[in-house]
Homo-oligomer: A and B are copies of this chain.
């Protein structure tokens, strides 16, 4: 690495390549347009009002978030159509009411308790999506329990301010696929299941419902969006080692890398110690040859960063230390006090852990994590 590169970086710092971000957004926008589905990108990955602006030139107006406070943050930055893709948190029902007064707000329900609390709280229309479990077994009504879905849909339709918008799923099982074909198959199976539920509801008098699906692997790899009205991928804006390993992107599509100071070398065991630990990367991993890697090592350069160093991996994480495994020949090009790049295993968690990032051009991007009230405060 050029030793004069980034003289101002002294701590683990997430760098973003805006050109790659632009291409990633454009690719997904074009795919959605071709398929005739609405792209409602999930903003939980970049978590930033500034980064959100990168989507507007592409005509994006509707977004997804993962918490009500994240909805409030983006509403405060001018987004008018926000879906909170998380089970309704009854302890924040006042925030639901407030948001419904000035934006088009979408929320998820999956039980009568959600519907009743919502109906009691709001005085303006709210879009209601029924959360369906189409195979991931995280949460939602089981796709094959059609009668339960029908009952809940009927319950929603009886409430004055609740606009039953559709059925929503997150086919999280695509992340556990072994290869891209399996991702596509699982995505397709999930979409078919959603349409079976929709059809059953139509046959029983509940019609006009949309189907919303969303996961970056499926939306990146599939070209078949039959029966889908809306997609909600998020990770695709940056991508990461998990997505590249799964084949959901090329390594060259990854737009995020953490620049980490090199603090100690152990070439005898092919390891370098970096300032960059679990509090910076979080602790998600990709598994390679049975070994967990928390990230992939690259060399930083004037244009961004190199392809992955062969075998270069962040193999251990303490609170602040990281241990990077490197081939012996790389050590001669590195110096203690220099920087090395690490592509995170799971960039959404790294963004949240670091709370701020900067572009290759040096612009600092603030996020919700830092801008909002401390997590944990009511």
Contacts and interface: CB of A to CB of B under 8 A. Distances in A.
Interface of A: 8-14, 44, 66-67, 69, 86-92, 95, 110-111, 113-114, 117, 137-140, 172, 261, 263-266, 269, 273, 275, 278-280, 282-284, 316, 318-321, 323, 335-337, 348-349, 352-358, 364, 366, 370, 374-378
Contacts of A280: 375
Given A89-B261, A349-B278, A376-B354, A66 B110 contact: no
The 8 nearest A-B residue pairs measured at CB: A90-B337, A10-B91, A87-B263, A356-B374, A283-B283, A13-B376, A279-B352, A87-B264
A280 B67 CA distance: 13
Contact of A321 (B138, B261, B356): B138
Contacts of A91: 9-11, 261, 337
**What is the total number of copies of this protein in its complex?**
2
11 contacts: A10-B89, A13-B377, A90-B336, A114-B336, A139-B263, A172-B318, A279-B353, A279-B375, A352-B353, A356-B374, A358-B376
Contact of A320 (B86, B111, B355): B86
A99 to B, nearest CB: 14
A183 to B, nearest CB: 18
Contacts of A111: 264-265, 336
Nearest to A114: B336
A109 to B, nearest CB: 10
A11 B282 contact: no
Nearest to A259: B376
Nearest to A358: B376
A41 to B, nearest CB: 15
A145 B307 CA distance: 36
B352 A138 contact: no
Most B C-beta atoms less than 10 A away, residue of A110, A172, A323 = A110
Contacts of A266: 139
A349 B319 contact: yes
A378 B11 contact: yes
A171 B212 CA distance: 51
A71 to B, nearest CB: 12
B349 A138 contact: no
A278 B104 CA distance: 28
Given A86-B321, A111-B265, A377 B352 contact: no
Contacts of A14: 376
Contacts of A86: 263, 275, 320-321
Given A263-B89, A282-B282, A352-B279, A375 B12 contact: yes
